[in-house]
Structure 1
Amino acid sequence: MTPTPFSIDVADTVLDDLRLRLARARVLPDSPRRPASGMSSAYLADLVASWQEFDWRARERWLNAHPQFLADIDGATVHFAHLRSMDAAAPALLVMHGWPHTFALQLDFADLLPDFHVVVPSFPGFAFSTPYAARPITETLLAHTMHVLMTEVLGYESYVTYGEDVSANVSDLIAATHGDHVLGIVATHAHFPTMAERELLTEPDQVAFFARLAAAHDPNGAYGHIQGTRPDTLAAALDDSPAGLVAWLAEKLVEWSDTPAGDPPAVERRISRDRILTEATLYWVTETIGTSFRPYYEDADQPDSIPSVDVPAAVFIQTHEGDYPESLARSFYRDLRIFERLDEGGHFAIAEVPHAMAERVRLFAREIGVLA
């Protein structure tokens, strides 16, 4: 499991083909009376035009300034960035991504923590990590793979874990099942009980929170239903059309970030255009939009609840879940040291407000005694 150094080097022919496709993009006008969305015809046309002129080589150099490696784990080749601290005794921090982003969106945050050994992996099936060869992409397997990466591949006896979106449950699983190796857990997507467990809730604030989520699911959850039921049909379109791909990805960056509704360009106050186009380019050149859908259907029916977490925890409630009940966090994270509702930072909190979140992680590390 010795990691192999890795450097990103996208072929000129791939970039030339991308620009040709963008130049031929057909951007439809907005439909009349269309439902509210995080994408508009005008914003998509602007993104497509910018992507044609995008300096990928500059972004590639920036990405490659972060040491990257490959390691074979659990039948997948796992790509990861490994930012070592100058202090050999610094604590290790695992920073995982979700969907629709990649490891790249987490690097601005990682750069702010030189007092940690920061590991930022690409989940199997995302970016430069291959999917599992013969096994489904489940939260349980992902948790095992990430733990092996940290302990057996990189040799860290203990570490702090962070996850969001797809990786939130993975992080909870790591902390719950490998507590002897986990120093603490940081969460901006605090634990959600299973659907069966939610039916047993009686606390009014807990019942109200999940009722609100359920009411929003029908108009806002269609993307996940498609990715979980017709993944290959959708992937065929997005893998062939860069305009379609950036529309699909950027719509979620807009809707889920902490920016004004109905103003798609406002997302760039939190996530710059260069970062948005970096995400789109990574999905395009690696052709991983289809494999990124796999957790939506391969793990969709996994019924097992996650055991409670006993290691020290810090929960920072992102703005889109501002009514998440503190009582729910305390019942799951049994050693909850910090509970805070963020004033800024939505679904992609560490990407949107990296300085604020880096300082919070640092304060938590001091609270649990792993950082001076």
Structure 2
Amino acid sequence: MTVRPFLVDVPQAVLDDLHDRLARTRFLDDSPRRPASGMTSAYLRDLVASWQTFDWRAREAWLNEHPQLLADVDGETLHLVHRRSADPGAPALLVMHGWPHTFALQLDFADLLPDVHVVVMSLPGFAFSPPLGGPTTEQRLAELAHALMTDVLGYTRFFTYGEDVTANVSDLVAATYPEAVAGIVVTHAHFLSQDERDATTDPTERAFYDRMSAGWYDQGAYAHVQGTRPDTLAAALNDSPAGLLAWLTEKLVEWSDTPTGDPAAVERRLSRDRILTEATLYWATQSIGTSFRTYVDGADAVIPPVEVPAAVFVQRHEHDNPESVARRFYRDLRVFERLDEGGHFTVAEVPEAMAERVREFVTVGSRTPRS
């Protein structure tokens, strides 16, 4: 298993083509009875205008300030940022993103942990990580994450963190490889299976899952189409940068911890430069279609309870996630806190607050036995 240095270098022809397509965008007005969502015609027009003058080369230089590698891992290739601490004995932390973000959205958080060896892994099929040769399942992702940290990078012990589709992967890494995982940081706490939800008699647990289910019909269309018609959707988004931008940004708006009704409010948490960086990475790598594969292949793993030390920080979109479930699943729960700020993209939205909490846990909290 080998690693080699990597630098982001988007060909100028790709950028020229992007600017040409953006200049020829055919906009639509909002529907008269447009359902509430994270996108409006006015906001999309504003974002497209900004993308046309976006200084990608400056952002590219910023990305390349972060040491990047391509690693051969068990027959696959993974892109990653590997920020080593000046202290060789510092703890190591694996950070994994989900959809629709990329590794880039988590770098501000990584930059705030100079006293930790931080590995930010690009999921297969996202940006500069090629898609897997086989199905993109939770089990396979967990195997690759563990092999990357141990066999390739040489860490005998590490901490793990995941968001969105990698929340289960992070749980699975911790549950499957406890000898290698020193602890787990969680902002998307474990969900009960449907059978467990149906069986629970705890009113707090039932209320939480009822609330989550009630909102799924209005917000779940994206997952259904990505999981059932991925290539048809990808054909459109891969050809239209404005369409791609709308599809990605809508979820950044809806899932971040920002007021409803004003999509531009997302920029209080995720700056416009960060939004356009995400869109450019998807566009330049033509990875929107392969990013859907986690939806096509679906959740596959039965995850046993996690026995390693755990710190659960409940993000705002799951503010009422029951502590009782967390304590049953994370058997060595050292921290349980409900965050005052921060939504689905927690470490990107509140990087300073999360860096402070993670530093405390990986350096002290995970080593202090529960009282």
TM-score, structure 1 length as denominator?
0.97
**1:194 Cα deviation from its structure 2 partner:** 2.1
SS at match of 1:240: coil
Q: 1:75·1:132 contact (CA, 8 Å) conserved in 2?
A: no
Select 1:338's aligned residue among 310, 329, 335. 335
**1:197 Cα deviation from its structure 2 partner:** 2.6
**1:207 Cα deviation from its structure 2 partner:** 1.1
C-alpha distance in structure 1 between counterparts of 2:236 and 2:169, whole Å:
29
Q: 1:78·1:130 contact (CA, 8 Å) conserved in 2?
A: yes
C-alpha distance in structure 2 between counterparts of 1:355 and 1:17, whole Å:
37
Q: In the alignment, what sits opposite 1:194?
A: 193
**1:222 Cα deviation from its structure 2 partner:** 0.6
Q: Which consecutive residues of structure 2, in runs of 5 or more, have no partner in the other structure?
A: none
SS at match of 2:101: coil
C-alpha distance in structure 2 between counterparts of 1:77 and 1:364, whole Å:
31
Select 1:369's aligned residue among 364, 367, 370. 367
Q: 2:108·2:351 contact (CA, 8 Å) conserved in 1?
A: yes
Q: In the alignment, what sits opposite 1:325?
A: 322
**1:290 Cα deviation from its structure 2 partner:** 0.3
C-alpha distance in structure 2 between counterparts of 1:6 and 1:194, whole Å:
40
Q: 2:310·2:366 contact (CA, 8 Å) conserved in 1?
A: no
C-alpha distance after superposition, 1:226-265 (max 9, x if no partner): 1001000000000000000000000000000000001100
Q: CA RMSD in A?
A: 0.9
Q: In the alignment, what sits opposite 2:14?
A: 14
Letter in 2 for 1:249: L
C-alpha distance after superposition, 1:140-161 (max 9, x if no partner): 0000000000000000000010
Q: In the alignment, what sits opposite 2:347?
A: 350
Q: Which consecutive residues of structure 1, in runs of 5 or more, have no partner in the other structure?
A: none
C-alpha distance after superposition, 1:97-132 (max 9, x if no partner): 000000000000000000100000101110100111
Q: In the alignment, what sits opposite 2:54?
A: 54
**1:198 Cα deviation from its structure 2 partner:** 2.0
Counting only pairs closer than 5 Å after superposition, residues 275-290 of structure 1 correspond to structure 2 as: 275-290=274-289
C-alpha distance after superposition, 1:177-204 (max 9, x if no partner): 0011101000000001222332222211
1:85 aligns with 2:82: no
Q: 1:76·1:129 contact (CA, 8 Å) conserved in 2?
A: no
Letter in 2 for 1:368: S
C-alpha distance in structure 1 between counterparts of 2:317 and 2:89, whole Å:
36
Q: In the alignment, what sits opposite 2:251?
A: 252
Letter in 2 for 1:317: V
Q: In the alignment, what sits opposite 2:130?
A: 130
C-alpha distance in structure 1 between counterparts of 2:27 and 2:249, whole Å:
15
Q: In the alignment, what sits opposite 1:360?
A: 357
Letter in 1 for 2:201: T
Letter in 2 for 1:34: R
1:312 aligns with 2:309: yes
Letter in 2 for 1:185: I
Q: 2:139·2:172 contact (CA, 8 Å) conserved in 1?
A: yes
C-alpha distance in structure 2 between counterparts of 1:40 and 1:73, whole Å:
42
Letter in 2 for 1:222: A
SS at match of 1:346: coil
Q: 1:187·1:314 contact (CA, 8 Å) conserved in 2?
A: yes
Q: In the alignment, what sits opposite 1:67?
A: 67
Q: In the alignment, what sits opposite 2:176?
A: 177
Q: In the alignment, what sits opposite 1:161?
A: 160
C-alpha distance after superposition, 1:333-362 (max 9, x if no partner): 000000000000000010000000000001
C-alpha distance after superposition, 1:60-84 (max 9, x if no partner): 0000000000012233210000000
Q: 1:4·1:69 contact (CA, 8 Å) conserved in 2?
A: yes
C-alpha distance in structure 1 between counterparts of 2:199 and 2:4, whole Å:
48
SS at match of 1:364: helix
1:232 aligns with 2:231: yes
Letter in 2 for 1:3: V
Q: In the alignment, what sits opposite 1:40?
A: 40
SS at match of 1:157: coil
Identity %, equivalent residues: 70
C-alpha distance in structure 2 between counterparts of 1:139 and 1:305, whole Å:
10
Q: 1:74·1:132 contact (CA, 8 Å) conserved in 2?
A: no
Number of residues of Structure 1 aligned to a counterpart in Structure 2: 367
C-alpha distance after superposition, 1:197-224 (max 9, x if no partner): 3222221111111111111010011100
Letter in 1 for 2:167: A
TM-score, structure 2 length as denominator?
0.98
C-alpha distance in structure 2 between counterparts of 1:147 and 1:200, whole Å:
33
SS at match of 2:199: coil
Q: 1:194·1:305 contact (CA, 8 Å) conserved in 2?
A: no
C-alpha distance after superposition, 1:24-50 (max 9, x if no partner): 011111101111010000000000000
C-alpha distance in structure 1 between counterparts of 2:272 and 2:246, whole Å:
13
Counting only pairs closer than 5 Å after superposition, residues 211-226 of structure 1 correspond to structure 2 as: 211-226=210-225
Q: In the alignment, what sits opposite 2:263?
A: 264
Letter in 1 for 2:82: H
**1:7 Cα deviation from its structure 2 partner:** 0.5
Letter in 2 for 1:158: R
Q: In the alignment, what sits opposite 2:102?
A: 102
Q: In the alignment, what sits opposite 2:143?
A: 144
